[in-house]
Amino acid sequence: MTKRLSFAAIFGLLAAILVTAPAQSTAAAIQPAAAQTSTAQASAAQIVADLGAGWNLGNQLEANSNGYPSETAWGNPTVTQAMIDKVKAAGFKSIRIPVSYLRAIGAGPNYTVDAAWLNRIQAVVNYAYNRGLNVLINMHGDGYKTIPNAWLICDAANQTEIRAKYQKVWQQVATRFQSYDNRLILESMNENFDGQYGQPTQPCYSNINAYNQIFVDTVRRAGGNNSSRWLLIPGWNTNIDYTAGNYGFVVPTDQYRSSSIPSNERRIMISVHYYSPWDFAGEENGTITQWGRNATNAARKSTWGQEDYLTSQLKLMYDKFVVSGYPVVVGEYGSIDKTSADSTNNRYRADFARAVVSTSKRYGAATFYWDNGVNGQYGFGLFNRSSTAVTQQGIIDAIKGGLAS
């Protein structure tokens, strides 16, 4: 979502000059801890269990300045090993790293991704991967109409060019990571839609389906462990209703996967996000600050989107995908800090996180909390990325409690 441009991030964007993260100076800095050749795979249920508590490194590698990827452009400091170590120490087992490419992609027909940017992506991946964490990387801001130089636009006229560019970029990324084992998951895109918050439109949804199919085919044919790794696929705007309902989503075929995978097993996961009700989770005002059965002030609680709605949404995904062998990943969820309006707000933010995690677990889904690095008013942050200090221990405890329930 475009929540990455909250107030502190907007200030950082306006203040930032173009700062491209430094390229790594040695080959060792951009290599995994050891070459991985194992093709061992977890079952659908096991991969969800293995992912455990997930966390997003938001507003970093998907940030940009004037269309150039720049990890500090939205107000966060350069990502460090110490920061990732603190995330692991807090109990997270998996990290989702949103990535934008934008003007780091060269001209066609080769659409070569800038080597320094690929190196930096790999270095940040290794901060987590080399510590034994699961890592998920995607193509994030390239599909937002609100981002300068975005190009993965489902209702644009130049679909032939878009598909060729998309294929070439994923070919390069998948090749770069081909030796990584199955703790690395690739995600085709993020919240792709026509920019209008309503029911899906055509041919836009058909184009999203086409991108997903290109992604699966390209990654599978890129060599190494790509033929058997788990791939993550979103529907329209990662919306649960528009993915699980009869609105046009098509699960890609997987004809190029390794023959070592039993025919009755999947290696495709379905991606959705959960920020409902939005007036509690993301609306930047102090009106709705409480959530769930423990709310004490009805005027501060939304009239929809409570525990029963959460259950119905995750059950919808379970009935549509999990029972057919496709694990579900709630790749983003969370709620912003409104303690400036209601000092009890963090209690309900923790309740919300615990409920999303525990309900997702019950219905066969893994979860990744959205952290944009912003602390204080309207921030999603769980950590201070400059000091690496934990800022929301209560929410972290709730996430772990939800997994344990």
Show which residues are catalytic.
Answer: 191, 332
> Do 195 and 165 contact (CB within 8 A), yes or no?
no
Tokens representing residue 309 in the block: 């709605």
Token pair 């952290």 is at which residue? 371
Q: How many CA atoms lie within 13 A of 207 on its CB side?
A: 24
Distance of alpha carbon 60 from alpha carbon 100, whole angstroms: 9
Type of residue at 322:
V
Spatial CA neighbour of 275 closest among 363, 335, 198, 344: 335
Report DSSP letters for 129-184, one per residue: HTTT-EEEEE--GGG-TTSTT----TT-S-HHHHHHHHHHHHHHHHHHTTTS-TTE
DSSP 21: P
> Do 209 and 159 contact (CB within 8 A), yes or no?
no
Distance of alpha carbon 116 from alpha carbon 340, whole angstroms: 41
Q: Which residues lie below 8 Å from residue 227, measured CB to CB, with a gap of 6+?
A: 220, 221, 256, 257, 258
Type of residue at 173:
V
163: left (phi over 0), alpha (psi -120 to 50) or beta: alpha
> Do 362 and 398 contact (CB within 8 A), yes or no?
no
Tokens representing residue 320 in the block: 């549509």
Distance of alpha carbon 254 from alpha carbon 396, whole angstroms: 36
